[in-house]
Structure 1
């Protein structure tokens, strides 16, 4: 009995010391996990799970440097999104945005940069070789025009305008220039049901109220309006 009591007395303080020493480590681990989650939240859009603008921009530039002429910048803008919000409510609008994000992610693949730039505006940078470009953009248009099923079982018809730009067509590897050209092409073909490929002319289109005014393009892919 004495031996047992002695052993407990001898190791008790040591155990307490180890436990006390472990507490700051545990606290730091919890803090680090919380910080990691906070940083992740700043990188990801909470509604769609897509990258926010800064995270998307960094990843997009990496992909442009890596793939060069085989890279493409694709801008996507939901059509008549305000009407969906007004007619069916913001919850339905959120479901539509999340569905667009999921479709873009599935279409682009895990190595692409897919971001929500704000509101109903999305951007993708990925490797898109010339031989597959038309087929892939047609596929994207079809995916984005597939009706969305809401939580209550109702379906809503959706559509999105798509503009694409490549370094070869635009004459620049700069992300901002490529996005501007793709955005101008998008608005040139707005509501057409087709993806429009930008030219050097689209890269020169000035910004109008924060958006670009389109000019005639050279190629369109997708379904007829």
Structure 2
């Protein structure tokens, strides 16, 4: 795998999700990007469920591919753990919006809604740890960027969860806006991480990853060096 493909997987995952969010919201009559969750696009009973679920599934598979690339060929030890976390995030996202999608707000809540909330929380925790570990991997401007992303994820994620509490009364002002700030801050981090890794690995060994003594992969031998600690 080349660093160009790594970058492409990350960017494509974000673009696919963003286009799915935009198109589904436009086709959903009466939908409010500001006041309704993204999950309501893929919810049971949503008229655009198939479109948004397709976008989310493609996004998830691309995210898993990106995570595998990071995991196998990361040039820094802390970054090596970001890969499995992204894989886990991608795997969690698949049932969250398919088997355990939330119910539309006009439907009676069920077990699927409980599971959807639980999986969404798990996804958020995994992403938080991944962002934190990426800050450890790269000092300088990227570290500051990753650290600055963390309170955005926590703050707007919490604000969205509070705003959605009025869903039974069909009154959820700014729930969608808060969630989208949370989601797209995470997506921006994904792209910036991919660009940063791409540049770092290219400086170290051209267009394919190499071993720098911290558990990376040497393209000449294809073997992984022993890890310590």
> Same fold per TM (> 0.5)?
no
TM-score normalised to structure 1 length: 0.28
TM-score normalised to structure 2 length: 0.28
Structure showing greater relative contact order (alpha-carbon pairs closer than 8 Å, 6 or more residues apart): 2
Say which one has the larger Rg. Answer: 1
